[in-house]
Structure 1
Amino acid sequence: MIDQPVSDQPAAPPSLRDRKRARNRQALVDAAIELFDRDGYEQTTIADIAAAAEVGARTFFNYFASKEDLLFPESDARVQATLEAIAERDESEAPTAVLLRALRSVGAVSDEMASPQAALRLKLMRTVPAVRGRALQIQLDAQRQIAHHLVAAYPDTLDGVTAAAVTGAFIGAITAALQVLLDGADRPDDPAEFHRVLVEATDVALAPWA
């Protein structure tokens, strides 16, 4: 395993400033989703979102670099969860098992992938070029980071090309399965079941790499 610093001290609770930042960030996301759904993506401005979230327009840029980023509020956290799973792997754990464990951990802490926000994001990715472009950039950046860490973690079994292929299969399977799940009239109402189906489908896609 990759050595990680271990501390017996419990994590410090978030400070008042951190809690305020988290509230402001979530308020911006919630306001944006409501406005995008009600008024349309192109018709909604950053000023509109800031006003609905009750923050200044300039404050918006303390949290998000662009309007598109509001639709992907958990992308960094998901990548980080995957990198942590790689770092904490057991010596006998295969790369595909690590990736699936990371996907399960994401579902354990957040229902966002099964949310109305995710369905709206998919709709806008299909209809708004700026959103589609941002989604692709996020996906490519995630693949690069994850593949880099896989090569470092499994130098005897993966090189740059094979790590990129495994990572591409992982992210591609999630993306494709989510499109069908979010489109389906019979998609699971229970977020836990939704995520179970997503993990199961991704497992099938990764089977040739196991």
Structure 2
Amino acid sequence: MKNPPPDDAVPEGRRERKRRETRQRIVDAAMKLFLDRGYEATTMNDIADAADVSRRSLFDYFPTKEDVLFAGQDDFIPALVEEMRQRPKGEPWPVLVEHAMARAIEDAATPESFAIEALVQRTPSLQPRRQLKYMRLEQAIGEALAERGNSGEDRQRAALLAAVVVAGFRLAASAPGDARLSEGVHQSVSRDFRGFWQALRDFGEEGLAPRTPSPATLRRRDTPRKKGNP
């Protein structure tokens, strides 16, 4: 049984519901074509025909074919931000991001979504848009974390954590989706984060360890400078 909408929720009007349903029908039809034919071989006309909408209507919802392909991935960002905002106040930021990411990925994970991600990774023409997706994700995470801070230093820490988390997310996204589904998406994401935090701690300990000059540096220090050299 579905939970009733909150008291402050605005009821969805008929027009909004029809637009949402049409948009989803377009996305569903397009994803099937992309996976069956490949991205390059699928045209906007193919998508319009498969979704039973006019070409004009299709472009009203999605100006480009890339926009259709990345629709689900673009929807992931606001879903993640909402998960972050629902986390308890005062929760350590790494823990907050880990739990929110695991929940958002779990909600979005399907065999089709993993297949689409694999399609994007192996399609050269989609790499600029893929990079833009990660830039937007990093910005959204940083801004959501900064909302919990109250100083310029907090904003810097938020931006830094967002950058390293998205870097780890990009590496983890290359793992086969069927393995994640069989293990359990939430468990798989949590395991990835544990390894990620451990690696960052190891790097930090190495970076903060006492430094000894290299032999080349010592030789340069001991070599007398010739007159006229700076």
CA displacement 1:28-71 (0-9 Å, x = unmatched)? 11211222222221121111101110011111123223211222
Q: Secondary structure at the match of 2:167?
A: helix
2:116 corresponds, among 117, 120, 131, to: 120
Larger Rg: 2
Letter aligned with residue 52 of structure 1: A
Letter aligned with residue 171 of structure 2: A
How far apart are 1:197 and its partner, in Å?
A: 0.4
Distance 1:13 1:161, change over 3 A: same
How far apart are 1:13 and its partner, in Å?
A: 4.1
- Whether the 8 Å CA contact 2:145–2:158 is kept in 1: the answer is yes
Distance 1:95 1:148, change over 3 A: same
Letter aligned with residue 197 of structure 1: S
Letter aligned with residue 125 of structure 1: Q
Alignment partner, residue 172 of structure 2: 177
Q: Which has the higher contact order (CA 8 A, sep 6+)?
A: 1
Any stretches of 5+ residues in structure 2 without a counterpart?
202-230
- Whether the 8 Å CA contact 1:85–1:99 is kept in 2: the answer is no
- Whether the 8 Å CA contact 2:35–2:115 is kept in 1: the answer is no
- Whether the 8 Å CA contact 2:102–2:189 is kept in 1: the answer is no
Q: Over the residues paired in the alignment, what is the CA RMSD in angstroms?
A: 2.8
Distance 1:45 1:79, change over 3 A: same
Q: Does 1:135 align with 2:126?
A: no
- Whether the 8 Å CA contact 2:35–2:116 is kept in 1: the answer is yes
Q: In 2, distance between residues paired with 1:194 and 1:66?
A: 31
How far apart are 1:10 and its partner, in Å?
A: 5.2
CA displacement 1:128-180 (0-9 Å, x = unmatched)? 32x21111111102212321332332245954443222112222222322211
Question: How many correspondences in the alignment?
Answer: 196
Between 23-32 and 192-201, the greater mean CA deviation after superposition = 192-201
Alignment partner, residue 65 of structure 1: 63
Q: In 1, distance between residues paired with 2:28 and 2:89?
A: 41
Percent pairwise identity: 26
- Whether the 8 Å CA contact 2:120–2:127 is kept in 1: the answer is yes
Alignment partner, residue 186 of structure 2: 195
Distance 1:201 1:157, change over 3 A: farther
- Whether the 8 Å CA contact 2:23–2:61 is kept in 1: the answer is yes
Alignment partner, residue 82 of structure 1: 80
**Length-normalised TM-score, structure 1:** 0.78
Q: In 1, distance between residues paired with 2:128 and 2:146?
A: 27
Distance 1:181 1:40, change over 3 A: closer
- Whether the 8 Å CA contact 2:48–2:55 is kept in 1: the answer is yes
Distance 1:8 1:71, change over 3 A: closer
How far apart are 1:124 and its partner, in Å?
A: 3.0
Q: In 2, distance between residues paired with 1:55 and 1:176?
A: 38
Q: Secondary structure at the match of 2:147?
A: helix
Letter aligned with residue 135 of structure 1: R
- Whether the 8 Å CA contact 2:138–2:163 is kept in 1: the answer is yes
Letter aligned with residue 122 of structure 1: A
